[in-house]
A = this chain, B = another copy of it.
Amino acid sequence: MQSRVSLFVVAVIVAALPALADEGMWTYNNFPADKVGRKYGFKPDQAWLDKVRLGSARLARGCSGSFVSADGLVMTNHHCAHECIAQLSTKAKDYVKDGFLAKDIKSEVKCPAAEINQLVEIADVTRRLNAATAGKTGPAYFEAQKAETAKITKECATSDDVRCEVVTLYKGGRYDLYKYRRFQDVRLVFAPELAIAFFGGDPDNFNFPRYDLDVAFLRVYDGGKPAQLKDFLPFSKTPSKAGDVTFVSGHPGHTSREYTVGELAFERDLSQPTRLTRMSELRGQLTQFALRGAEQKRIAGSDLFSIENGLKARSGRQLTLTNKAFFDAKVKAQADLVAGIKDPKLKADTMQALSAIDGALNKLRELWSAYMNLEVGWAFGGDTFRLARGLVRAADETQLPNEKRLAEFADAALPAVWANLTSEAPIYYELEHLKMTFGLTKLREMLGADDAAVKKILGKKSPSTLATELLKSSKLGDAKARRAYFVFEDVLDPTTKKKVGEKVKGINLDAVKNSKDPMFAFARSVDADARALRKRYEDEIESVIDQSNEAVAKARFAVYGTSIYPDATFTLRLSYGAIEGWKERGADVNPITTIGGAFERHTGEDPFALPPTWLKAKDKLDLAKPMNICTTNDIIGGNSGSPVVNQTGEVTGLIFDGNIHSLGGDYGFNPADNRAVAVHTAAILEALEKVYGAKAVAAELSGARPTL
């Protein structure tokens, strides 16, 4: 990778300039259709945009997907369904290793913690937010914004089947209300073996050429039956080739292209390095833990994957941030923005805002270790504590009026909170102990053994002893025992009025009051300190940065107009591009790999070992068919599972990665070599039919209706 560092040329497109080339993660209500039409000879109309939007799925825990049949079939990446597949696995049956195929609809199994959303409506609420915060600053600004947001989302969230979010776009330049249909009953239909889903493993991750079948099929249910969908994206029957126009509709999680120089420096100097070393150490621990035995390997698999994936992504981002040419270009762009402002008051406001951001970040430098450990929860790794704190806070917050609550406990967010807190995902003591011990050890390391909070938390105990005590006697890891903390109400069939299920109505305050659970008590005991840190963070840092960024956004609109796209926010975006390779150290990279290439790369040693099913099916497979492709679409983490769509609105691919150069895309898009990486749909159909005998799924993807 070393010789690639310098290839991130000065020519990188700097954020907030009007987008060039195929750059841009565009919102559906500001898509540059004319521009696409001029470049690719196809101008998407409103009907096309609506169809693709409604065919796009969001996996609430951080991925994208697509609705690919009239009966609720959802396509996403294996790595997006990994958590569900792992949670359904047991010591006796490891679906991550062996794959999963429901032999019929009845055999589809519910994912314990999955939720899928479909974006049904976007409304501009900028005026409401601006009116609410007008004339306010600091904590008052923050409180007003939070209250108005809670009010708007509550009005919108008329039932449990609706999820509403106010989305801050252009760092406060615009606020839109996104209304989703929520599918909470999500079942696993098909997943291949990890060995082919993630063929090449961490070494090949973020690289291309690539040979992965990173796909999983889920199905959304409604009232216990496969959801019937009017809008979905059918598989394409036309073979694709280099140069074909490609649209990617998905949920890029986060970009920092609008970051000020001060924010970028904070990332480069403190935020990223702290995370990189922390994650590296945890990776090392999990690696050795997984070597203890097959069971440990199984239960650590999800964490290890997500840490290694995150580490590689962050390392790539840090390479960009520490690239002098890149950073100098960002400094220049910011200076150019200020210089380009004509209105003297706006100019003064912008300069003042930039300086206020720097001041707030200096405060954050002071607060960083305490805030990340105690409030963000680095100190208390693992799920048991997370659930305990969730219960403590849900009990406290739901007693407050909607507008006064912490944002994540607003009425509109409660269905997701209950789903989360009552999740039946398994929790493993041994892994919990590793993570909690690690968190507490790093807490003491970061704050020092003489810090008051550290003394209060650890007392005379070592991190390991405290973790053992709390975890051994807590019952919160057991989903059944956790039910005692809730009050449930019946769910009735709308026509028969008969009980068809139950749902959480709220917290059982008596149970909370009388709880003797040690982890619950521990979470309670650290909550005041954590909340105090959060309050300081919100009042002195976040609100200052948010409000200042609103001012900078105004300057950006004034100088560059509205033909720009906002930073990614894990909301639905559409990008356009084409199947196209790039030049790597002078050599052309072919944008399409074949199924045969996977067999050539096979060494028999993990992670380059194809699963037995593939070796057995080799003779039946058409080795010349495309396996993976790369495209010029502008995507980023969160886009995993996004459909690649052609101009007739059919799916031709499944995004699962970007190339190594795409990692710097967090900070700017470099059209020369930033590439999205996708599984070609031909490989998916070929594998379903010839490797897995999943004829029903393949038929459904080709338009057949399943037997219900």
User: Which residues of A pack against B, CB within 8 Å?
Assistant: 1-3, 5-6, 200, 202-204, 207, 265, 268-270, 273, 276-278, 280-289, 292, 311, 315, 318, 322, 324, 362, 365-370, 434, 444-450, 460-462, 465, 603-606, 608
Contacts and interface: CB of A to CB of B under 8 A. Distances in A.
A288 B284 contact: yes
A374 to B, nearest CB: 12
Given A2-B365, A606-B462, A445 B288 contact: no
A2 B536 CA distance: 15
A608 B445 CA distance: 14
Given A265-B324, A280-B284, A449-B608, 20 more contacts: A1-B446, A2-B366, A5-B366, A200-B449, A204-B449, A207-B449, A268-B322, A269-B322, A273-B276, A277-B280, A277-B315, A280-B281, A281-B283, A281-B284, A284-B287, A285-B285, A285-B287, A285-B288, A460-B605, A462-B606
How many copies of the shown chain assemble into the complex?
2
A288 B433 CA distance: 12
Contacts of A284: 280-288
A288 B430 CA distance: 12
Nearest to A283: B281
Given A280-B280, A283-B284, A366-B2, A270 B200 contact: no
A335 to B, nearest CB: 17
Contact of A281 (B204, B281, B603): B281
A212 to B, nearest CB: 13
Nearest to A370: B2
A460 B281 contact: no
A542 to B, nearest CB: 17
Contact of A3 (B269, B270, B366, B450): B366
A349 B283 CA distance: 48
A268 to B, nearest CB: 8
Contacts of A288: 284-285, 287-289, 434
A273 B207 CA distance: 22
B369 A1 contact: yes
B281 A605 contact: no
B460 A273 contact: no
Contact of A604 (B202, B270, B449, B460): B460
Contacts of A370: 2
Given A269-B322, A460-B605, A1 B276 contact: no
A289 B270 CA distance: 29
A252 B265 CA distance: 32
A543 B606 CA distance: 42
A355 to B, nearest CB: 14
A203 B444 contact: yes
A211 to B, nearest CB: 12
Nearest to A203: B449
